[in-house]
Structure 1
Amino acid sequence: DLQVDALKATALPLLKKFGIDGESLEIKINRRGMPPKGGGEILFACPVRKVLQPIQFTDPGKIKRIRGTAYSVRVSPQMANRMVESARSLLNKFLPDIYIYTDHMKAVSSGKSPGFGMCLTAETINGTILSAELASNPQGQGAAVLPEELGRNCAKLLLEEIYRGGCVDSTNQSLALLLMTLGQRDVSKVLLGPLSPYTIEFLQHLRSFFHIMFKIETKTPEEEHMGGEKVLMTCVGIGFSNLSKTIR
């Protein structure tokens, strides 16, 4: 499952592109939990919209900055700092504009299990946000992971996501396709990187439930841009409308 920091950084901006926006759209982390016992708590608020807007999101643009969060729960605060230094040592070779926040939860703000992790996002000049996230193994499961190793591996995952490219990262491909399907009866287009196995299966579900087919075009990247092959997804929305009424 996608970690809450990645959802906040990538899913919310994607929702805004479909017209689900406003000050009331937010994810707030009240308590941060780690497996296996969890104990986290978040507040998700979303405004009601009658219809979703079609989108034309086909130019990802160049990377302008990298942001992130290194968090630690019921462990030393230095764990987060060590992850930050390790990730920056790799990412600074490619981009100077990097800022990674540290978030140490303790007392009532922490969950029931110790752990640490990191979420990194790369933002482009056109509003594309690509993410990567990684967390330590649950307590008592698997080998212990050093913070330096986790930070370095998370940075590598982000670089891989940048190589894959597209206007939506691999973890949010299915969300973008779902919102395109439920949109108004108009053409929507989005450029994605190579489709993940989850996205391929999700397309089959969309065809079964909504009887909708996507036009899929393979786009070979221009030589100067490099990166992997891209896929242009096109569909006409089913015109779904929200019929919710106020409860009195």
Structure 2
Amino acid sequence: MGKISSMKLKGSQNLRLRLLLSTLSSTPILIEDIRADATWPGLRPHEVSFLRLLEKISDDCVVEINETGTKLKYKPGNVMGGKHVVHDCGVSRSIGYFLEPLIVLGLFGKKPLSIRLRGITNDSKDPSVDTFRSTTLPILKRFGVNPEGLELKIESRGVAPGGGGEVVLSVPILQDSLRAVTWIDEGMVKRIRGVTFSTRVSVQFENTMIHAARGIFNRLLPDVHIFTDHKAGPLAGKSPGYGISLVAETTSGCFISADNAVCYAQGEEEAEIEDEEKKDLIPPEDIGKQMAGILLGEIEQGGVVDSTHQGLLFLLCALCPQDVSKVRVGKLSPYGIGVLRHIRDFLGVKFVIKPDPLTETVILKCVGCGLKNLSRKVS
């Protein structure tokens, strides 16, 4: 058998996406010049942690990193899935960074995946675990993923810099393949749901956030419910913080989300930045108003998903059977555009992009690559 040639890539951008697509398409990759000119060259702790996670849920996967961490060779294996898998995500990125690729990979495993992830549950960089539970999982159901066995349990919360949160993700395997969708009707917003959380601070912070957010929403919509999730003791992680996650549900079954968390920054390199951050955290009232405003902005943009879920939507469309999928999104996000380019390179799927000047949205069409779950056991 001839040697399989690797796809050669450069730079650190979209590393997680490249590894995900490499695994799904069984394409070995070689990435060079990973932050070669940076003060701290090479892979970051969360990227190494993600590679370790891929090793845990795959069989025969090979990871080679050079001494400086600026060169990575990755040969994907078969996704095995499995129960009782435990992974510590560390504290340089939140659990949300690991969840999106895990959810997609779990669908194409040999066995259903049940994994316990430890680390930061809510921060301002990645979507929170609440958003995954309320918005990401319903998107998968659109594509024919069995809702039984698809769940995310939040066992304890943890914010930066200490972490200490824990969640359990369960993903069922696909019996065959995903289902192509025509999903262009956003519908009208019929209700808004949300959850606030607080760890190691007064529970009053949550009431303030709810009051501020409701002050904006209640002028527009009567059906607004925001729940509280105050954690204390060992369930509150290791650091103080608070935040809010909001979801607008539409008459056509779309979920549009926005979330944020307030905590002390992860002190990566400069201790001064951490000190500056400690001086002024955003007050709870401001964060409530700010996130209500951001959610209204996402709704105004149009589209069947919010800007943070564009990449996942495009990826699911590309993995569908060889049938036409058609979706509507608001303004294309930079990450969404990056995903479209990588899908073309790894899966050979090209999207037809057509702006809709009337609604200022974009309609995308593609024929899926027909990825089937070949790993699953055939009874």
Q: TM-score, normalised by structure 1?
A: 0.94
Partner of residue 306 from structure 2, selected from 169, 181, 199 = 169
Question: Match for residue 195 of structure 1?
Answer: 332
Partner of residue 184 from structure 2, selected from 48, 58, 82 = 58
Amino acid at match of 2:291: C
Aligned pairs, how many?
A: 241
What do the CA deviations read for 1:207-236 (whole angstroms, capped 9, x no partner)? 1111211000101235xxxxxx10101000
Task: Give SS of 1:178's match.
Answer: helix
Residues 1:235 and 2:366 are matched in the alignment: yes
Task: Give SS of 1:19's match.
Answer: coil
Partner of residue 173 from structure 2, selected from 39, 48, 53 = 48
In 2, the alpha carbon distance for the partners of 1:120 and 1:219 equals: 27
Task: Give SS of 1:22's match.
Answer: coil
Which fold has the larger relative contact order, with Cα–Cα distance below 8 Å and residues 6 or more apart in sequence?
1
Displacement over 2 Å in runs of 4+: none
Partner of residue 118 from structure 1, selected from 211, 224, 244 = 244
What do the CA deviations read for 1:26-75 (whole angstroms, capped 9, x no partner)? 01001111011111111110111121000010101001010100110111
Partner of residue 82 from structure 1, selected from 208, 215, 224 = 208
Preserved CA contact (<8 Å) 2:173 2:376? no
What do the CA deviations read for 1:126-185 (whole angstroms, capped 9, x no partner)? 001101111113265622211001101010000100111111111111101101111101
Preserved CA contact (<8 Å) 1:61 1:124? yes
Q: How does 1:5-154 map to 2 (within 5 A)?
A: 5-49=130-174, 50-138=176-264, 140=274, 142=277, 143-154=280-291
Preserved CA contact (<8 Å) 2:240 2:263? no
Unaligned runs of 5+ in 2: 1-125, 266-273
Identity over aligned residues, as a percent? Answer: 44
Q: What is the root-mean-square deviation of aligned Cα atoms in Å?
A: 1.4
Preserved CA contact (<8 Å) 1:137 1:145? no
In 2, the alpha carbon distance for the partners of 1:100 and 1:44 equals: 23
Amino acid at match of 1:233: L
In 2, the alpha carbon distance for the partners of 1:59 and 1:106 equals: 42
Q: TM-score, normalised by structure 2?
A: 0.62
Distance apart, 1:246 and its partner CA: 4.4
Task: Give SS of 2:263's match.
Answer: coil
